[in-house]
Structure 1
């Protein structure tokens, strides 16, 4: 469903603003990831010296960027869609499909991940989990904590999107007045 066609609600404006600011502020993670990859490749192939810390840092940065970027993509309507059927549907039908998708697919999935992520992160923190690789990064719980953080943001973005779809379909919550 095109983002321009969905009315903006007070809730969506607040959540979308936070997610967009956070996503924009954390965009540097991708540049840092590229830098780490380049340094790792140069050290490995020019100097025959590999660093497990850099390899682990690569996947830590990638996981952080991906998990925090999920909500940003949803808010910006930048996620991948299959438009084979959708292009022929009316806006009303698209809104219904979007609403059902959010309620029956995305929301339960997000809740399942959040329920499972809590004990996962807590166990890593309580046991002071570290990398099993010699010379690997410590504080494994920090990267694991990105899972619930990313999915809480995705939950908020889902609720924001759902409020916009409900506003289009039912007129509730009321759309935010244009400023």
Structure 2
């Protein structure tokens, strides 16, 4: 069981680092968007690559931080019953949700996105806009990164559920327990 706990901590640590790093893109997006507006309305000029860049940064940020949101339970959940449930009931609900919904979803996303991303890399695809950003293939790769990171976080949720159901909730990191330890 301690091996599972170490895997859980490693996955949570990875998604925490990725989430914290990529969340800083939000500041870059705001600054860049502001500058594009200033250029357009004060200087009557625009650089199309800059417009592409803040849209691409937005896409990269949201796909990269999705697993971080899942880790922190910042996703949308209809928790009429879940919020007040006991830890074991939450573990059963998470186990079922991960096995029947989340893991199949990320598997389908990965399988269908892989040829799409591979084609983009083969052609070294760039922006469809004349004068736009090169390297669209890098942005498209974030679909695969999304699937992998969310899949890993789903595995972490699965491990947490197993540890709780196996009467080892003490092996779950305090900040990831169902009943938060103060």
Q: TM-score scaled by structure 2? A: 0.84
- The answer (yes or no) to whether the contact 1:33–1:61 under 8 Å persists in 2 is yes
Partner of 2:118: 122
Task: Quote the Cα distance in structure 2 between the aligned partners of 1:87 and 1:72.
Answer: 20
Partner of 2:108: 112
**Is the partner of 1:87 in helix, strand or coil?**
coil
**Is the partner of 2:83 in helix, strand or coil?**
helix
Task: Pick one of 48, 51, 57 that aligns with 2:53.
Answer: 57
CA RMSD in angstroms comes to 2.2
- The answer (yes or no) to whether the contact 1:166–1:173 under 8 Å persists in 2 is no
Structure 1: which 5+ runs fail to align? 1-7
Higher relative contact order (CA 8 A, sep 6+): 1
Task: Quote the Cα distance in structure 1 between the aligned partners of 2:74 and 2:87.
Answer: 18
Q: 1:72 to 1:176 in 2, by over 3 A?
A: closer
1:139 and 2:135 aligned = yes
Task: Pick one of 153, 160, 166 that aligns with 1:157.
Answer: 153
Q: 1:177 to 1:114 in 2, by over 3 A?
A: closer
Partner of 2:166: 170
Q: 1:17-28 alignment to 2 at 5 Å?
A: 17-28=13-24
Q: 1:61-72 alignment to 2 at 5 Å?
A: 61-72=57-68
Give aligned pairs, total: 171
- The answer (yes or no) to whether the contact 1:10–1:176 under 8 Å persists in 2 is no
Could you report, residue by residue, the CA deviation over 1:38-64 in whole angstroms, capped at 9, with x for unpaired residues?
111111222232322122111110111
